[in-house]
Each structure stands twice: as structure tokens, then as C-alpha cells.
């Protein structure tokens, strides 16, 4: 097998799946069930077939006696854009599971002999991975490209740029713009509206960062890791205000509140705290799937913002240790478009810095290829008339809430929105 190892196979698999998905996402609406050639599978058939191939590989490595899978035309049909989107999302998740599986395989597991009648009886496991899955997908990716060309779309799923624009089309997106703590609110809001995210460097001092980390250390160490979406090697801790008094200072940071007022204020009497979370990405974590924080609210995009996020770096953020990957400009996208890895930038910044992003900006946790954890606090602010993502009245015991600054209490929801929304015993609940 030479120098080939599980991690390199995982990188190959991830790049291949990104390329396949880019082509499938370019399928014109209404053509998802079109066959890519006479007697061939349709685009939908191929997407389902590749999901099944990933599942077969996972089972084959656990059950060597498993027979080869077979595919066929007409087995999958989608009924519209929503079903097609769900199928592509399933294919993306399947690819992420495959990459994690391959990354965990050592040389002994890859050299293990498996029975496979397609390749002459017995072959090493890495041969089954490469020939039985990765090259298999590459073959079908070629079929998808041919089908796209027949439908009048470029074979790679992208419009062909003019000669003078090809270099620019290949260029990576510019990094997020960084500001100093002295930046004016109007500057920050303009950049946020332009690119969907920005960085304010070293907004809080080292003493505050150390205090928060110390207050959260025990609970964060005891927190479990997550799943495919939230990260198999990522710890998440909710109810931050119940565990860290120092973190309350960041919730009411004047710079953040001024930006939130400018973005959210025109659509509500006052905004509120939507959720609080500490996030620690451990060494060995892979990049997690892209998502939008405002997905929990049923609003059509693009449109007015109803949420912004404030991410505080409690450690240095680098491209190698899991800095949040942000897709600039994606807050302007509609719900059909999905981001590619090459459209994202790492939010690199020193500890004590802040990243602000629109709730509709696509982002994800980055891969941690270092030996140190990457830790952050995330506070989301939402319109005052929306249901909060995290129930602050239960997350923070009332005896702790009473001891917090009044401004924090109000952001938690201990006040009504107008005269009637959220009242208690006919009165504004701030008296509690």
C-alpha cells in the first residue's frame, strides 16, 4: 500500500464527495429523475446508490463475508426540490461518516484480507475501499458530469468563467475583516451586512478570559461529546450563566449590544438572549457540517435578520486547531444553495477576540489537527418576540439569576416585550 494510510484515504474521500455533490447540486430543477444515459440510472438513482455504497463499505469492514452490492435504474424518484435537497443532505452526511471511518483505520486494518468476488477472491481492505468505493464513486461522478452536459450545464457543475476571470474564480475567499475595539458601530454593521461576519481582535483582557475558563473548566471537562452534526470530539456546555459569573460581562459587552440593536432593533421593541454555550473542539476532531444558527426559525431566506451570534475566543483560534469556518456572503443566499469547503475561511484570531456573524451565515467547526483543545463561548441574540432557543428561566436557577446584573436579567427574558407579551400577574416580570 506504500504511504497510503487511513487519514489520506479520508482526505481523498472528502474531496471526492465535495466534487460529486457540486455536480448533483447543479442538476436543473425538475430534472432530478432524468436518466444520465440510455438505460442508465437517473441523477436521483445515483445519489441514493452512493449513499448505499457508503453504508455497504461500513458494513463490509465489520462483516467481511458481506456480498457485493448492486445498483439499478428506477429505484429512486424525488417528488420535488425539498425531497432532492434532503437526498443531497443525506449524501453529504454519508460522506462525512465515511471520512471519519477511514481516518480511524490503521495500517493493520487496511492490510487485513477480505473476501470479495469482484476482485478475484481475496484482497486487502484498502483495495476494497479504493476500488470498491472511491473509484466506484469517481466512475459515477463521470456519469453525472455527462448527464449535466446533456442538460446544458458544465460538467463540473459550475458555469464556465470567461478566460480573464478564471484565475479569480479559483481564488480563495478573502479572510474575515478584523477591527480594533475602537471601531465604530456603523463600520461594524456595514461589514456585517456586506459579508455576514467579522472579527474584533482582543476585545477583552487576558484576566477575564482566564476567569471564564477557570469557572467553566470542571463542567466542560465533564460534558460529553456530540454526534455527527455537533462533533464526535466536541464538548458543548449549555447554561453558561449558571456556571460562570465572569461570562455575564461578555453578554452585555457594549460593542455587541450596539451591533445587535442596529441589526435587530428595527424589528422589535428590544432583543433578547437566545442561547448560551461553551464549545471545546478536542484534538483529532474533523470539520463538522455547515449550518445556520437561525435554522430553528421558519423564516424564508434571504430576508431580514432575526438573530446574530457573538463567538468569543477563549483560546487562540487557528486554521489548524479548529477555528470556526465561515462562508462570507452566505447570509444573502436562499435556502436551496449549500456551501462548499472552498468557499469557507477560518476565523483566525487571538484569545479574547470576538467574531460576530449574522444568524443566517453558513459556518461550522473546523478540524483540530493540533494537540490542544480550542475553546469558545457562543451567545446568540434574537428578536424579543421570538421563542428563545435556550430556556433561560430553567437553565439558570432563580437564586443565581437574582444575583446577576439587571441588564443581564433583562436580556435573559425577565421583562415583557411591550405591555402584553410575557407579562406575569399583569405586570412586567422584571420586578421578580
> Same domain, yes or no, for 87 and 185?
no
- Among 43-47, 368-372, 377-381, the least confident range: 43-47
> Same domain, yes or no, for 36 and 140?
yes
Query: How do strand 178-179 and strand 197-200 relate by DSSP bridges?
Result: parallel
pLDDT tens-digit map of 220-275: 999 988 776 778 889 999 999 999 999 999 999 999 999 999 999 999 999 999 99
For residue 331, pLDDT beyond 70: yes
Question: Which band of pLDDT confidence, cut at 50, 70 and 90, is reported for residue 75?
Answer: low
> Same domain, yes or no, for 139 and 189?
no
For residue 67, pLDDT beyond 80: no
Please report whether residue 1 resides in a domain: no
> Same domain, yes or no, for 310 and 185?
yes
Domain C-terminal end among 150, 165, 188: 150
Mean predicted lDDT score pLDDT of the chain: 87
pLDDT tens-digit map of 408-419: 999 999 998 887
Please report whether residue 159 resides in a domain: no
> Same domain, yes or no, for 270 and 367?
yes
> Same domain, yes or no, for 11 and 118?
yes
Q: Report which of 309, 354, 333 is spatially closest to residue 177, judged by C-alpha positions.
A: 354
Report how far apart, in Å, the C-alpha atoms of 82 and of each of 21, 55, 88, 241, 340 are: 16, 23, 10, 38, 19
> Same domain, yes or no, for 116 and 207?
no
Please report whether residue 30 resides in a domain: yes
Please report whether residue 314 resides in a domain: yes
> Same domain, yes or no, for 108 and 189?
no
Which DSSP state fits 76?
A: -
Please report whether residue 164 resides in a domain: no
Q: Which residues make beta-bridge pairs with 35?
A: 42
Q: Nearest-5° angle of CA 379, CA 333, CA 323?
A: 40
Q: How far apart are CA 141 and CA 23, in angstroms?
A: 8
> Same domain, yes or no, for 115 and 182?
no
Please report whether residue 204 resides in a domain: yes
Report how far apart, in Å, the C-alpha atoms of 19 and of each of 95, 138, 228 are: 11, 9, 21
Mean pLDDT of 122-134: 84
For residue 5, pLDDT beyond 50: yes
What are the backbone angles phi and psi of residue 238, rounded to the nearest 5°?
-90, -175
Q: How far apart are CA 309 and CA 361, in angstroms?
A: 10
Scan for cell 456585517, then name that residue.
192
Please report whether residue 363 resides in a domain: yes
For residue 39, pLDDT beyond 70: no
Give every CB contact of residue 236 below 8 A, 6+ residues apart in sequence: 223, 226, 230, 277, 278, 279, 280
> Same domain, yes or no, for 136 and 275?
no
Question: Which band of pLDDT confidence, cut at 50, 70 and 90, is reported for residue 164?
Answer: very low
pLDDT tens-digit map of 285-310: 999 999 999 998 988 888 899 999 99
- Among 138-142, 257-261, 336-340, 393-397, the least confident range: 138-142
Neighbours of 108 (CB within 10 A): 8
Is pLDDT larger for residue 150 or for residue 103? Answer: 103
Look at residue 167 in the predicted model and tell me its pLDDT.
45
Look at residue 70 in the predicted model and tell me its pLDDT.
62
Mean pLDDT of 163-178: 67
> Same domain, yes or no, for 415 and 301?
yes
> Same domain, yes or no, for 88 and 182?
no
Query: How do strand 345-346 and strand 325-326 relate by DSSP bridges?
Result: antiparallel
- Domain count within the chain: 2
Q: How far apart are CA 139 and CA 91, in angstroms?
A: 16
**Full domain range(s) for residue 236:** 178-431
For residue 79, pLDDT beyond 70: yes
For residue 1, pLDDT beyond 50: no
For residue 315, pLDDT beyond 80: yes
For position 282, which CATH number holds?
2.60.120.620
Please report whether residue 212 resides in a domain: yes
For position 125, which CATH number holds?
1.20.120.450
Q: Which residues make beta-bridge pairs with 271?
A: 383
Q: According to DSSP H, which parts of 180-287 are helical?
A: 185-195, 206-222, 247-251, 254-264
Mean pLDDT of 95-117: 87
Q: Report which of 31, 201, 6 is spatially closest to residue 112, judged by C-alpha positions.
A: 6
b/e per residue 141-180 (b: at least 16 CB within 10 A): bebbbebbeeeebebebeeeeeeeeeeeeeeeeeebbbbe
Amino acid at each position: 500500500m506504500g504511504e497510503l494510510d487511513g487519514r489520506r484515504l479520508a482526505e481523498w474521500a472528502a474531496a471526492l464527495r465535495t466534487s460529486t455533490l457540486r455536480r448533483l447540486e447543479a442538476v436543473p430543477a425538475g430534472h432530478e429523475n432524468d436518466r444520465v444515459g440510455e438505460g442508465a440510472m437517473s441523477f436521483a438513482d445515483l445519489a441514493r446508490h452512493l449513499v448505499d455504497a457508503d453504508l455497504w463499505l461500513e458494513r463490509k469492514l465489520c462483516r467481511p463475508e458481506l456480498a457485493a452490492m448492486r445498483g439499478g435504474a428506477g429505484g429512486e424518484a424525488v417528488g420535488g426540490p425539498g425531497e432532492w435537497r434532503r437526498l443531497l443532505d443525506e449524501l453529504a452526511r454519508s460522506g462525512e461518516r465515511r471520512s471519519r471511518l477511514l481516518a480511524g483505520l490503521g495500517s493493520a486494518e487496511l492490510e487485513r484480507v477480505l473476501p470479495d468476488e469482484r476482485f478475484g477472491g481475496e484482497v486487502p481492505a484498502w483495495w476494497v475501499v479504493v476500488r470498491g468505493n472511491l473509484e466506484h464513486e469517481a466512475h459515477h461522478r463521470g456519469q453525472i458530469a455527462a448527464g449535466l452536459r446533456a442538460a446544458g450545464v458544465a460538467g463540473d457543475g459550475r458555469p464556465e468563467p470567461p478566460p480573464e476571470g478564471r484565475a479569480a474564480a479559483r481564488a480563495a475567499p478573502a479572510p474575515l475583516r478584523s477591527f480594533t475595539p475602537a471601531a465604530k458601530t456603523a463600520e461594524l454593521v456595514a461589514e456585517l451586512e456586506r459579508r455576514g461576519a467579522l472579527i474584533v481582535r482582543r476585545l477583552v483582557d487576558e484576566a477575564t478570559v482566564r476567569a471564564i475558563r477557570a469557572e467553566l473548566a470542571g463542567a466542560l471537562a465533564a460534558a460529553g461529546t456530540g454526534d455527527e452534526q455537533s462533533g464526535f470530539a466536541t464538548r458543548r456546555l449549555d447554561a453558561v450563566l449558571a456556571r460562570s459569573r465572569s461570562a455575564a460581562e461578555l453578554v452585555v459587552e457594549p460593542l455587541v449590544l450596539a451591533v445587535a440593536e442596529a441589526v435587530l432593533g428595527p424589528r422589535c421593541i428590544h432583543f433578547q438572549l437566545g442561547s448560551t454555550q461553551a464549545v471545546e473542539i478536542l484534538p483529532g476532531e474533523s470539520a463538522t457540517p455547515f449550518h445556520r444558527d437561525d435554522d430553528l426559525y421558519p423564516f424564508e431566506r434571504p430576508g431580514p435578520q432575526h438573530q446574530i451570534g457573538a463567538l468569543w475566543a477563549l483560546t487562540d483560534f487557528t486554521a489548524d486547531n479548529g477555528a470556526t469556518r465561515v462562508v462570507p456572503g452566505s447570509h444573502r443566499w436562499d435556502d436551496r444553495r449549500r456551501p462548499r469547503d472552498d468557499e469557507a475561511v477560518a476565523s483566525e484570531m487571538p484569545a479574547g477576540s470576538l467574531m460576530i456573524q449574522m444568524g443566517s451565515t453558513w459556518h461550522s467547526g473546523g478540524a483540530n489537527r493540533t494537540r490542544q483543545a480550542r475553546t469558545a463561548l457562543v451567545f446568540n441574540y434574537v428578536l424579543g418576540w421570538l421563542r428563545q432557543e435556550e430556556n433561560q428561566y430553567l437553565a439558570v436557577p432563580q437564586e443565581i439569576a437574582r444575583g446577576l446584573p439587571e441588564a443581564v436579567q433583562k436580556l435573559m427574558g425577565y421583562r415583557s416585550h411591550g405591555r402584553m407579551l410575557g407579562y406575569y400577574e399583569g405586570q412586567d416580570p422584571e420586578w421578580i
